[in-house]
Amino acid sequence: MNRQLTLDDILDLRAYERERDALRQQVIALKRRRRVAVGPVVTLLFENRETIRFQIQEMARAEQMTTDAAVEAELRAYNPLIPEPGHLSATLFIELTDEAQLRHWLPRLVGIESAVELRTADGTPLACRPETEHESQLTRDDVTAAVHYVTWSCTPDEVAALAQGEVTLAVVHPEYRYEAALPADTLAELLDDLRG
């Protein structure tokens, strides 16, 4: 099954307003299961078709998009973030709240988008890679962006290893080394993505 979104999946503005509160509550609950904090300033949100659909709906609402062409531009930008079977996709947020934190962390975390891994129960690391479509826009030599998109490609054996449980999400950047165990409900979500 192709997981990509089409125009038919995106509600027009009036229809979305009628359903927005209920959809928003559903996506908040979904994101709660798919969000993992790693250390004091990094959070990853593992994306799927529904999180991306909501993102596009919110962009269309905020920017008052009323043409198919405008929505299609958003679909082209965000569809690559929907993982196909055997893949995972996440938005990496560097969550900073003031100017001093920005000046401290963003220059130090250059390259963080290539320094995240999932570790299986036996400690085997599965490295992420930056999402191709967005990498050139977000990667700089002297300062990093506060948002990155990362992906994983997993073989069937790697999916089986992740299914054994006790999976850790780790940032292995020279200036930022933290890890977090994936909660069981988060791992279940990711296995659903991987298995299709």
pLDDT at residue 134 in the model:
62
Percent of the chain with pLDDT over 90: 88
* 78-137 pLDDT tens trace: 999 999 999 999 999 999 989 999 999 999 999 999 999 999 999 999 999 998 776 666
Output the pLDDT for position 137. Answer: 64
Sheet arrangement for strand 176-181: 125-127, 116-119, 168-173, 176-181
Task: Dig out the tokens for 6 from the structure.
Answer: 């089409």
Checking if the pLDDT of 144 tops 80, the result is yes
Mean pLDDT on 141-168: 93
What does the pLDDT read at residue 139?
A: 61
Q: How confident is the model at residue 1 (pLDDT cuts 50, 70, 90)?
A: low
State yes or no: pLDDT of 2 exceeds 80: no
Domain boundaries, the chain: 7-195
Task: Identify the H or E element spanning 21.
Answer: helix 13-34
Long-range CB contacts for residues 190-195, cutoff 8 Å, separation at least 24:
190/46, 190/88, 190/162, 191/159, 191/162, 191/163, 193/46, 193/48, 193/83, 193/85, 193/87, 193/88, 194/83, 194/85, 194/86, 194/87, 194/88, 194/154, 194/159, 194/162, 195/85, 195/159
Contact call for residues 93 and 37 (beta carbons, < 8 A) = no
pLDDT in tens, 6-16: 999 999 999 99
Average pLDDT over residues 186-192: 96
pLDDT at 38 over 90: yes
More confident residue, 139 or 125: 125
pLDDT at residue 11, rounded to an integer: 95
Q: For position 3, what pLDDT does the model report?
A: 82
